Amino acid sequence: REISPRLFRLIGEGLGAMMDYETVVVIGWDQRPGNPALVSALTQGFHLRGILVIWAGEVATPGLQASLLHKGAAMGCMVTASHNPVTDSGVKVFDRYGYKSMPEYEVQVSEIIAKLAREEREVDEPELQRLAIPDSEFDGGAVHREMLERRFSLLENCFAGSVESHSDGGVSSLPDGGLAIDTSGGSAEGWLVDWLNAKGIPAHAVASPVAMNVNCGAGEFSPSDEWTWEQIQSNAGEHLLLTHLAERCRDGVPADWQVGGIVAAALDGDGDRCLLIEATSTGLRVFDGDRMADALLRAGGESWCLAASIEADLGLPVDIQTAVGDRWLSAALSPPIGQSVRLLLMDETPQVIGCEDSGHLVLAAPHPRLDEHWSLVGDGIASLLAVLAAQRRLSGLSEGGFERGWKRRISVIGVERARWDGKNTIADMVEEITRRTITGWGMVENWRRTDIQGETSLLLLEAEVDGFSMSIGIRNSGTEAKTNVSIRLAPQIMGLSEPATVLLGEIERVLQRKLVV
């Protein structure tokens, strides 16, 4: 659907129709040029339904989540398209507890919006101008920074032991010049580097992008990316962070870079995830969300619960497997829907982690107003702080880590998504090919097609080969005309990566033949 102010007014009306009269919604947005008009239209829609609107201003998504809890609002709306191009936009909806909306709710709202769109309703221009004005405004960015101030010591205590236990700041493994920070042109651009330096974490900024998400940020990286020194120099210019690091390496590897050390961090545009860049003996590579979660588990000690998506590395000790998307991680770790209060109630930081290899880490955050109440949120800055704390306790991140499995992911582009639902005859064909193929890999046991809540188009095939896990997942993209295929092998059977790659190619060809328009 094409994004327009009219659509956003309808979205405001549709969301408002499911809220009590004169309850409060907090709206925040990122730095996309079209957002001011969309925010005004969204405000009009809520006002037409009698909902009170508070603007939080330009803010990161985790800042909007903290702001709605701070205000005790019934809902929060973040106008953003995350890591997508700056010309795109959309809206993320949060409930009163700070959890993202779920599909069932979104279907209900969509039905209301479709009905409203068919109605002939006239609102004159002067009235629309009045309705576009918020009932109040405040600085959501300040609320976010206050929350990070609180979380800094909590994360230190969880993953580094305590702030006092590291008198030197524990940053000796960081480059002398500090971490290179790429905020993707998001709301952290104006303050994060100074804030990190004030906390004793040396950091410096890369060049500002021409616009949010343009050749910058976590959204331009894949979790599996790695580069040799030659590739870094030849690819300079394709990504601002790589260009910056290439300049540092122009005269050879900097003396202050340690193999296995973190040299840079990249947020995505709306600030809810982070990927790190690690120095290797031959170049650089992405330190992804799987490895970040592993570091936190090892540094945090026992009794942590890990939720991870169906694309997580099979070497991770996953307690709960979820659909792709951080909302499913939060849902898996939160009290069940239907409880009177869906916040976590504990006197100390809840020991829960949700992870995706894309850099989404969901961790518990203290409620801004209620003692011993905790929400669950993905925050790229908090993730960075947590991993740096873990690095200090572990004396580095490259030793003693989990044994990584093997995985590959490809996308079939230009598909008619309606042709793939994970259950039809095409899915049966893929299962038949897969089962026939892997019987030649070893003893195959416990073959199954697994359903995952929230994945409406997923075919997830799981089995053990010679006693060790493998899986193949095929699912439609939620926003693009493509179908994604991933294959995973446990660390003990990584030797099967070559035939697994051949199988992946065979599945890709079947899907291209059956799905591409």
What confidence category does residue 259 fall into, taking pLDDT thresholds of 50, 70 and 90? confident
Q: What is the pLDDT of residues 84-113, one digit of tens each?
A: 888 889 999 999 999 999 999 999 999 999
> Tokens 């230190």 identify what position?
156
Higher pLDDT, 436 or 400: 436
Mean pLDDT of 364-369: 97
Q: What is the pLDDT of residue 167?
A: 43
Q: How confident is the model at residue 158 (pLDDT cuts 50, 70, 90)?
A: very high
d(CA 427, CA 432): 9
pLDDT value at position 78? 98
Residue 136 has pLDDT above 90, yes or no: yes
Start-end ranges of CATH 3.40.120.10 in the chain? 5-138
Which one of 3.40.50.300, 3.40.120.10, 3.90.550.10, 3.30.1330.10 gives the CATH number of domain 5-138? 3.40.120.10
Residue the block writes with tokens 């006092």: 164
Pick the CATH number of 169-287 from 2.30.110, 2.115.10, 3.40.120, 3.30.190: 3.40.120
pLDDT in tens, 45-80: 999 999 999 999 999 999 999 999 999 999 999 999
Has residue 299 got a pLDDT over 50?
yes
CA distance 401 to 58: 38
Summarised one tens digit per residue, pLDDT across range 176-227 is 889 999 999 999 999 999 999 999 999 999 999 988 889 999 999 999 899 9
The pLDDT of 448-474, averaged and rounded, is 95
Mean pLDDT over 264-280 rounds to 95
Secondary structure class of 331 (helix, strand, coil): helix
| pLDDT for position 1 | 57
Q: Where in the chain is the domain with CATH 3.30.160.110?
A: 406-515
Tell me the C-alpha distance between 209 and 181, whole Å: 12
For residue 168, what pLDDT is reported? 47
Topology annotation, domain 406-515: Double Stranded RNA Binding Domain (3.30.160)
Min mean pLDDT across 6-20, 112-126, 319-333, 501-515 is at 112-126
pLDDT, residue 19, reads: 97
Choose among 81, 41, 52: nearest CA to 479.
81
DSSP 83-138: TS-TT---EEEEETTSPBP-HHHHHHHHHHHHHHHHS-----HHHHHHHTS-SEE-
Do 271 and 60 meet the contact criterion of CB atoms below 8 Å apart?
yes
Are the CB atoms for 297 and 85 separated by under 8 Å?
no
**What is the pLDDT, as a whole number, of residue 161?**
84
Helix (H) or strand (E) segment spanning residue 391: helix 380-394
CA angle 374, 376, 377 (to 5 degrees): 130
Q: What is the pLDDT of the chain when averaged over all its residues? A: 93
Instruction: Classify 237 in phi/psi space as left (phi over 0), alpha (psi -120 to 50) or beta.
Output: left
